[in-house]
Amino acid sequence: MVTRKETSTVRGERMTFGNFVDFRGEFIDTVHFPQVSKQFPFRGRGVYFIEGKVSEEFDCFSIEVEKMEKVKLVPDARYVEG
């Protein structure tokens, strides 16, 4: 995850936009509509597994998230203090 932005719909429901980097170093924008934002909230910095539908609008691609899960990472011993 690079960043996220929370906003409200016209009905006052919370929705989120995210920006991620994939395993090839390409940026990916995500849209998290209110139902998905409630069911699969962001859990802080880290790596996420995302499922959804790719959409295109104004020549820009994004993923309309249907499911999102934070992935546990194995610590890199090269960077562990102590």
What CATH number has the domain bearing residue 52? 2.40.50.140
Confidence band of 82 (pLDDT split at 50, 70, 90): low
3 has a pLDDT exceeding 80: yes
Torsion angle (degrees, nearest 10) of CA 67, 22, 17, 35: 0
Rounded to an integer, what distance in angstroms lies between the CA atom of residue 41 and that of residue 16?
9
Mean per-residue pLDDT of the chain: 91
Residue 26 φ then ψ, to 5°? -85, 140
Beta bridge partners of residue 4, listed in sequence order: 18
Give me the domain span that covers residue 57.
3-79
Q: What is the pLDDT of residue 45?
A: 86
Q: How many domains does the chain have?
A: 1
80 has a pLDDT exceeding 80: no
Q: What is the pLDDT of residues 4-44, one digit of tens each?
A: 999 999 999 999 999 999 889 989 999 999 999 999 999 98
